[in-house]
A = this chain, B = another copy of it.
Amino acid sequence: MTAETQPRRLRADAARNRRLLLDTAAATFAEYGTEVSIAEIARRAGLGKGTVFRHFANKDELIAAIVCDQLDRLSAAGTALLDAVDPTSALLEFMTLGVEVQSRDRSVCEAGVSIGVGDPGIQAATDRLFGTAEALTERARRQGGIRDDVTGQDVILLLRGAYQAAAPLARTVPELWRRYLAVIADGLLSTTAAPLPRPASTRPRPTDRNDGMPHG
């Protein structure tokens, strides 16, 4: 479930420290932004700052590991929604969940975008999430609830867009994203509209590698 970049097994205390650092960093970044220093994270975790770099090659990798955790958590929530009775409203609930996750962790998510490109951990977690989203999307598509040229990847990218659209005013109007998610949802639901321009980007599906979770 959790993204394990580590191939080897860690000594008990090291594993505990790694988890402690991840949790401390996630909480601190969420509250004060990703610009909090590594020294501060280490201090809060009660560890030396050298230890941070023993577990994560650099600050970006620490942030990446937190992002992976979030992506996997959302992926798990999506998988659970595959059992919902109404596929289309399940998909919309999934999108709502996705934006909420981002709202909770503003700065980490934003940093995640720039890091994401090129980080194999985030790539893999993203592909897993694409897979989950695709399964949800396929059900809704079969139901005829959404236009038939929409992919799971589209859904993930668009829910990111809904969040980002509202982000500049998040401080003053915290729930504005619901408005923009509604616009996007209407766009996805308009089954009568012309086909979308540009094909959806094709990325390797999680089925071809990394033993991802079974779905549908």
Contacts and interface: CB of A to CB of B under 8 A. Distances in A.
Interface of A: 110, 113-114, 116-117, 126, 150, 154, 157-158, 160-162, 164-169, 171-173, 175-176, 178-180, 182-190, 193, 196-201, 203, 215
Nearest to A200: B179
Residue in A161, A182, A189 with the greatest tally of chain B CB atoms within 10 Å: A161
Given A113-B164, A157-B169, A190-B193, 13 more contacts: A110-B114, A113-B167, A154-B180, A158-B165, A161-B164, A161-B165, A161-B166, A164-B165, A179-B196, A179-B198, A179-B200, A183-B188, A187-B190
Given A183-B187, A197-B182, A165 B176 contact: no
A185 B197 CA distance: 12
A168 B116 contact: yes
Nearest to A171: B117
B201 A169 contact: yes
Contacts of A160: 164-165, 168
A200 to B, nearest CB: 7
